[in-house]
Chains A and B, each alone.
Chain A
């Protein structure tokens, strides 16, 4: 399978704990995005990377959230001191900025579902 992969698929944690999620984009994709999706809503942009550089962060993103993409390949999203309001699906997406595909479509991974008790 050469699509976007995310790990873990599910995470249950207690309030106040730290959690880290991993995303492996499609190998030739230099742009990587993180989104949060709650039930019945569309994906909400969190941040994105061009190679290893983090170029944009949502103003809604709490300072408890941090993301890295150290070698321009996989990325991690860490949430510190989790709160019940952090419960959501965390989606990763990637896309190339050169060549095919023709459109600037984003390819989404299966997501990590976080439940904070």
Chain B
């Protein structure tokens, strides 16, 4: 059973455009994390947002969290071809034993 589900499954945009990916989850959480995976590589941590936080920024990344709707979004501004990757949200919650549970991911393609 998937705790987190990303939307859309795939996204294709032009370089310079913004990319928005959404994540919905089912239970109350301690934190939500976003990871990036380049093709054939391991996952790299991007941002962690705690349950009592609503927004967080890191460079061109902006993450929001709405615990009332059990959802989060990842915004990448001014996208670059190098942003082409899969993006995953992962939740940490007591209901899942305080272990990271990943969604199926969003495949982002940035065309130059």
Q: Do A and B come from one complex?
A: no
Give B contacts to A, CB under 8 Å: none
Give A contacts to B, CB under 8 Å: none
